[in-house]
């Protein structure tokens, strides 16, 4: 059964005690706060034949089938491959499922994650099921970036803003999961995950702290002209491109904040001195141009555009190295 997180207790109580449920929910919020687990718990509750104590019983026929992955009235839709879009033919399978009669005589349930992965044709194919749900079907859409969904998709769902844990809650939860990691490293993981504890745990498992240190060291060498952009880009092959673009966007924003608002760079960030150096020497116009470029390229990556990774990173590093070069 999906984990129950303390920061979701209030929202869960509201959902579990509803007498009538919407035909479609859009659970949204930052990645790594437990939205998928919340959707799975809600799905299990809606399918359960013997709900007790505001939760699925875990023992009825429906709960056992769901746990075994063979529930005939449950349909899960996600990209067929990581970082690939959800295609229209996948959604057509969902639509076929929705119009069928529930085999166990109760509700049918659809879980779709991440909803923003649907391409335009797929999203349009889903609209009819959202407009005219069949029988007791409930659709649960999970989204990390609801702004990327069609307004017509959002408007046909009851939107549930999933809560993010308070810093103390996130730190306590991560400490229980990573007792062998020192507190400073856990703090850094949470900072890199924007306070989302499940994302911080994932970053630790993927070795992102080591990747981050590699990038920081490489950029320092780049500014000292000790390494060329193509060589540095090649050494970053194991690092996810969206992660790199997120880091550079954050760093560019921090430099802008130092210049325009006098706000110092984050002290425990290994880039603090570099960012301070750039804030003193980089022309504002060049920084703004870089930030616009980064946001545009990041949007292309999130939109699954077919980009040449090596050329993109080389272009980024050339722009970064040119920042302190004067007006």
Please tell me whether residues 26 and 156 are part of one structural domain.
Answer: yes
- What is the C-alpha separation between 320 and 313, in angstroms, rounded? 10
Please tell me whether residues 53 and 36 are part of one structural domain.
Answer: yes
Q: What is the pTM of this model?
A: 0.86
Please tell me whether residues 21 and 80 are part of one structural domain.
Answer: yes
214: domain CATH number?
A: 1.20.272.10
Distance of CA 42 to the CA centre of its chain: 20
Position 326 scores a pLDDT of: 54
Low-confidence ranges of the chain (pLDDT < 50): 327
Position 198 scores a pLDDT of: 97
Q: Which residue intervals of 161-283 are DSSP H helices?
A: 167-177, 183-192, 197-205, 208-223, 229-235, 241-261, 272-281
Write out the residue range of the structural domain in which residue 181 sits.
167-205
Please tell me whether residues 11 and 157 are part of one structural domain.
Answer: yes
- What is the C-alpha separation between 271 and 285, in angstroms, rounded? 21
Give the residues across from 143 on adjacent strands. 28
* Residue finishing a domain among 148, 175, 205: 205
Which phi and psi (to 5°) does residue 227 adopt?
A: -150, 145
Decide if 58 is inside a domain: yes
Position 140 scores a pLDDT of: 98
| Nearest partner of 74 among 49, 113, 53, 104, judged by Cα | 104
Decide if 277 is inside a domain: yes
Please tell me whether residues 240 and 259 are part of one structural domain.
Answer: yes
Distance of CA 59 to the CA centre of its chain: 32
- What is the C-alpha separation between 185 and 91, in angstroms, rounded? 42
**The total number of structural domains that make up the chain:** 3
Please tell me whether residues 174 and 188 are part of one structural domain.
Answer: yes
Position 267 scores a pLDDT of: 54
Position 300 scores a pLDDT of: 87
Position 81 scores a pLDDT of: 86
Please tell me whether residues 235 and 123 are part of one structural domain.
Answer: no
Average pLDDT for the chain: 92
Position 315 scores a pLDDT of: 95
- Helices 272-281, 241-261: axis angle to 10 degrees equals 60
* Residue finishing a domain among 149, 181, 205: 205
Position 82 scores a pLDDT of: 79
Please tell me whether residues 319 and 200 are part of one structural domain.
Answer: no
The tokens describing 240, both together, are 């996810």
From residue 231, how far is each of 141, 221, 310, 325 by CA, in Å? 42, 11, 10, 21
- What is the C-alpha separation between 303 and 165, in angstroms, rounded? 28
Decide if 56 is inside a domain: yes
Decide if 1 is inside a domain: no
Please tell me whether residues 22 and 139 are part of one structural domain.
Answer: yes
Decide if 138 is inside a domain: yes
Please tell me whether residues 120 and 249 are part of one structural domain.
Answer: no
Position 265 scores a pLDDT of: 60
Please tell me whether residues 255 and 295 are part of one structural domain.
Answer: yes
């Amino acid at each position: 059964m999906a984990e129950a997180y303390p920061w979701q207790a209030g929202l869960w109580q509201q959902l579990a005690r509803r007498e009538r449920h919407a035909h479609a929910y859009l659970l949204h919020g930052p990645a790594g706060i437990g939205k998928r687990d919340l959707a799975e718990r809600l799905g299990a509750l809606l399918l359960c034949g013997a709900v007790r104590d505001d939760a699925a019983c875990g023992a009825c026929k429906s709960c056992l089938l769901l746990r075994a992955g063979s529930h005939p009235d449950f349909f899960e839709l996600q990209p067929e491959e990581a970082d690939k879009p959800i295609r229209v033919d996948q959604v057509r399978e969902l639509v076929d499922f929705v119009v069928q009669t529930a085999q166990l005589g109760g509700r049918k349930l659809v879980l779709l994650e991440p909803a923003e992965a649907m391409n335009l044709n797929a999203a349009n194919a889903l609209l009819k099921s959202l407009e005219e749900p069949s029988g007791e079907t409930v659709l649960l859409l999970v989204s990390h970036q609801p702004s990327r969904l069609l307004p017509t998709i959002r408007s046909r769902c009851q939107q549930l803003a999933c809560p993010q844990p308070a810093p103390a809650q996130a730190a306590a939860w991560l400490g229980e999961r990573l007792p062998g990691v020192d507190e400073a490293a856990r703090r850094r993981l949470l900072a890199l995950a924007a306070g989302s504890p499940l994302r911080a745990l994932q970053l630790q498992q993927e070795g992102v702290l080591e990747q981050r240190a590699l990038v920081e060291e490489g950029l320092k060498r780049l500014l000292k002209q000790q390494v060329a952009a193509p060589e540095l880009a090649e050494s970053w092959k194991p690092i996810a491109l969206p992660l790199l673009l997120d880091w550079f966007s954050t760093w560019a924003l921090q430099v802008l904040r130092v210049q325009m608002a006098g706000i110092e760079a984050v002290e425990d960030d290994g880039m603090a001195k570099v960012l301070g150096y750039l804030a003193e020497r980089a022309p504002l116009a060049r920084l703004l141009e870089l930030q616009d470029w980064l946001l545009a390229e990041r949007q292309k990556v999130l939109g699954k555009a077919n980009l040449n990774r090596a050329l993109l990173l080389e272009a980024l590093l050339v722009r970064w190295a040119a920042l302190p070069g004067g007006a």
